[in-house]
Amino acid sequence: MSIVVEELSKNYGRQKAVDNISFQVNTGEILGFLGPNGAGKTTTMKIITCFMSPTSGDVNINGLSIHTEKENVKKKIGYLPENNPLYFDMPVLEYLAFTAALQGIDKNKIQDKIAEMVFICGLDEEKHKKIGELSKGYRQRVGLAQAMIHNPEILILDEPTTGLDPNQIIEIRKLIKRIGKEKTVILSTHILPEVEATCDRILIINKGKIVADGTPETLRRQSHNNEILRISISDAADRNEIISSLQNLESVNMVDPLRDDSGALIIQSKAGLSSRKNIFHLCVDKQWVLTEMTPIETKLEDIFRELTTD
Amino acid sequence: MNKIWIIAARELKTFFDSLTAYILLIAFLGISGFFTWLFGSDIFYIGQASLQPFFAVAYWTLFFFTPALTMRMLAEENKTGTIELLLTKSVTDWQVLLGKFLACLMLIGIALALTLPYYFTVWSIGPVDHGAVWCGYLGLLLMSSTYISIGLFASSITSNQIVAFLLSLFIGLFFLIIFSVLSSSSTGFIGELFDYLSLQSHFDSISRGVVDSKDIIYFLSISLFGLLLAETALAKRNIAD
């Protein structure tokens, strides 16, 4: 089940919340939707789920447009909104039955479906409690259960792990990964390691526009062509000489001594070049003992900061 | 229709789970019973086997009780964000509104059904005009549906229940009193218009046993108008501005 977003825009008054974005999500893909607060993530999700109409543009879910086939589109989507709003005064089982009935599940199958969701989401111990009495982690599971109860082919999860403790986060992530094998998932989050842990593809959005789209690896490659190395050379040699010799290497762009006790140096190579061999040969020539040489990977955080700050 | 019923059933259950229903039923029966049988121009004071005193009391009590039922309906969903969850399910805005409308109407229906013993009691005392009694009940239901749709509209435009309550009382007050006062102080077409808009004359004629299509249309059209406004308020999220 594919999602095709075409030139989607949404204005709130003069503010452009979503500004002419287009992308596609393929079946079985888990798409991480990243962006700073107010970037337009939630608005995009609200449009895809048919909660609000776009100012212009269209979303097609397997060929069904959100403008003309609202009811059918809604049936294919499971949605967990931001902050996971639920009826706190309803018991878990009753709430799931209500959702199942609203989604048009056959009366005879509702009980089986509920049992399945209770099992998948690990709600067995808490199923008779009122939702308001549950801990945040369990509420989140109820949120996931209600989103999946009609076996939708698409799951849209808006910040599914906000406010959970580290153990719960890992459990929910595992759950999403497991579900994501069969379904198309769009997941929005602020937590970058979460994206790396769960998503196949990343879409970064800033001020309503898409600023990056690709796997974590492609994004790293795109953002930083320059090789960055951390090296240490044993104390015997003169530090200034080391720095000036390294600086003179053809491939080296910049040498930056770390200001901690380690005495390590950060070496940035010129675009497209690698300095590893040169550094090794230099050390051999000068008879310095090279004790450390580690390539430093660009973190997703850095890519994110680079793309979303002015 | 099925979806409307699912939503109505949930809302009705919430009334009973949250004690709202019990408080309303007890208060309604208490107040209407007190003024029908014990105090003021009650049945014994009038000395006729008629439920007019009850209808006169219910006319006022429902005016206050209906907003208390409807204020939660959409304001709470707006506040907690559950409206988003509800409207992204496979239901339309209208199904949600009608479900909530039906739940309120059913609860008021239950309250009115519980006053049927008044009817049987009066019947045992003397000759009752059965037509007038049933018309009176019909009038109360129609009037309630008017207040419910006004209440739903008030609840749809805010996320604060108190605001919703006060706003629906305020709007309701126009139909209850203000239009009637205005009609008596103006003449010509304006006077007639205000007189038509006033709820009192329509309710009075129905509760006397005169079912005129003009009155039925009055109640139904205000109900529909209120629901239309509520639907517009719900659909506002879609408006591209």
Give the ipTM of the model, two decimals please.
Answer: 0.89
* Touching B: A residues 2-31, CB under 8 Å: 10-13
As for how many domains chain B has, the answer is: 1
**Chain B residues in contact with A10 (beta carbon < 8 A):** 240
Q: Between A108 and B36, whose confidence is greater? A: A108
What confidence tens digit (pLDDT) does each residue in B180-207 have? Answer: 888 888 888 888 888 888 988 899 888 8
Specify the pLDDT at position A266.
85
**Chain A residues in contact with B92 (beta carbon < 8 A):** 71
A59-68, A262-271, B199-208: the lowest-pLDDT one: A262-271
Question: Distance from first CA to last CA of chain A, Å, rounded?
Answer: 36
Burial of B209 per CB tally in 10 Å (0-12, 13-18, 19+): middle
Mean pLDDT value across residues A271-281: 84
What confidence tens digit (pLDDT) does each residue in B105-150 have? Answer: 999 999 999 999 989 988 888 888 888 899 999 999 999 999 999 9
Instruction: Tell me: pLDDT of A93 over 80.
Output: yes
Question: Distance from first CA to last CA of chain B, Å, rounded?
Answer: 33
Q: Between A227 and B226, whose confidence is greater? A: B226
Best of A8, A69, A87, A102 to disrupt the B interface (most B CBs within 10 Å) is: A102
Are the beta carbons of B14 and A146 separated by less than 8 Å? Answer: no
Best of B13, B84, B237, B241 to disrupt the A interface (most A CBs within 10 Å) is: B84
**Chain A residues in contact with B100 (beta carbon < 8 A):** none
What angle (nearest 5°) sits at the alpha carbon of residue A305, between those of residues A300 and A310? 155
The domain locations on chain A are: 3-214, 226-306
Q: Which of A51, A74, A150 sits opposite B84 (nearest CB)?
A: A51
- What span, in angstroms and rounded, lies between the C-alpha atoms of A51 and A31? 20
Phi, psi of A291 (to 5 degrees): -100, -15
Instruction: Tell me: pLDDT of B227 over 90.
Output: yes
The CATH number of A226-306 is which of 3.90.226.30, 1.10.10.350, 3.40.640.10, 3.30.70.100?
A: 3.30.70.100
Minimal Cα–Cα distance from B164 to chain A, Å?
20
Domain hosting residue B151, numbered range: 2-238
- Residue A54 half-sphere exposure toward CB, CA atoms < 13 A: 28
Specify the pLDDT at position A77.
93
Percentage of chain A surpassing pLDDT 70? 97
CB of A222 less than 8 A from some CB of B: no
Q: Between A299 and A57, whose confidence is greater? A: A57
Instruction: Tell me: pLDDT of B160 over 90.
Output: yes
What confidence tens digit (pLDDT) does each residue in A110-140 have? Answer: 999 999 999 888 888 999 999 999 988 889 8
On average, the pLDDT of chain B sits at 90
Are the beta carbons of A74 and B80 separated by less than 8 Å? Answer: no
Specify the pLDDT at position A224.
61
Minimal Cα–Cα distance from A110 to chain B, Å?
14
Burial of A42 per CB tally in 10 Å (0-12, 13-18, 19+): buried
Within 8 A by CB and 6+ apart from A292, the residues are A230, A231, A232, A264
CA A172 to chain centroid, in Å, comes to 14
- Please give the helix or strand (H or E) that residue A174 lies within, else none: helix A166-180
Sheet with A252-257, side-by-side order of all strands: A252-257, A265-269, A228-233, A290-295
Specify the pLDDT at position A74.
92
| pTM score of the predicted model | 0.85
Specify the pLDDT at position A223.
63
Specify the pLDDT at position A236.
65
Extract the tokens encoding B218: 């009055």
Are the beta carbons of A89 and B6 separated by less than 8 Å? Answer: no
Asked if residue A35 lies in contact with residue A23, where contact means CB atoms within 8 angstroms, the answer is no
Minimal Cα–Cα distance from B9 to chain A, Å?
10
Kindly indicate the confidence band of residue A173, based on its pLDDT and cuts at 50, 70 and 90: confident
Instruction: Tell me: pLDDT of B240 over 70.
Output: no
Task: Note the CATH architecture for domain A3-214.
Answer: 3-Layer(aba) Sandwich (3.40)
- Please give the helix or strand (H or E) that residue B84 lies within, else none: helix B82-87
Kindly indicate the confidence band of residue B87, based on its pLDDT and cuts at 50, 70 and 90: very high
Burial of A117 per CB tally in 10 Å (0-12, 13-18, 19+): buried
What confidence tens digit (pLDDT) does each residue in B8-39 have? Answer: 999 999 999 988 899 999 999 999 988 888 88
What confidence tens digit (pLDDT) does each residue in A175-202 have? Answer: 888 888 888 999 998 778 788 878 889 9
Nearest-by-CA chain A residue for B81: A85
Percentage of chain B surpassing pLDDT 90? 61
Specify the pLDDT at position A59.
94
Asked if residue A223 lies in contact with residue A298, where contact means CB atoms within 8 angstroms, the answer is yes
Mean pLDDT value across residues A34-54: 90
Instruction: Tell me: pLDDT of A282 over 60.
Output: yes
Specify the pLDDT at position B1.
66
What confidence tens digit (pLDDT) does each residue in B62-72 have? Answer: 999 999 999 99
Instruction: Tell me: pLDDT of A80 over 80.
Output: yes
